[in-house]
Structure 1
C-alpha cells in the first residue's frame, strides 16, 4: 500500500518532507496538483485527507500512522520529524 500511496501523492519527486502526529501522516508537497486525493481516500485505513498550510495530511489513526511514516522515510531516504 505504501507504493500506491507514494504514486498517488505525485511520487518521490513531489515530497520534500515527512512528519506525523498521533493520527496523521503529514507531507511537505511541491505541487498539490499532482496529488490524487480521490484514490488516496479509497485506500484501506485512510480516514480522510486535507491540504492545510502547505502540508498534505492523510488521516490514518493512531495504530497505523507510525508504520506509514517509517515506510515513507525509508523509501524517500530522508529523515522525519
Structure 2
C-alpha cells in the first residue's frame, strides 16, 4: 500500500492527515476522511448568514469546520 498525505488549512495553519491506500484518494474520498477526522478533533463552527450559498461536500467541510483541502500527495 502507498502512504498518502491530505494537506488542509484550518485557522490559517496547514495540517496533514496521513492514510494508506492502493490508489490516490479522490477529492470526495478525501473530504469524507477529513470530515470524520474533523468531527473527532474539532468543534463545529457556528453557522453564519454568509454560509447559506455554499453547497457540496467540500464547501460543507469549510462551512462546518473552517477546513479547506489544499492537496493530496503520495509520500516518497
Larger radius of gyration: 2
Question: Shared fold by TM > 0.5?
Answer: no
Query: More relative contact order in 1 or in 2 (CA 8 Å, sep 6+)?
Result: 2
TM-score of the aligned structures, taking structure 2 as reference length: 0.31
Q: With the length of structure 1 as denominator, give the TM-score of the two structures.
A: 0.30
| Structure with greater strand share of residues | 2
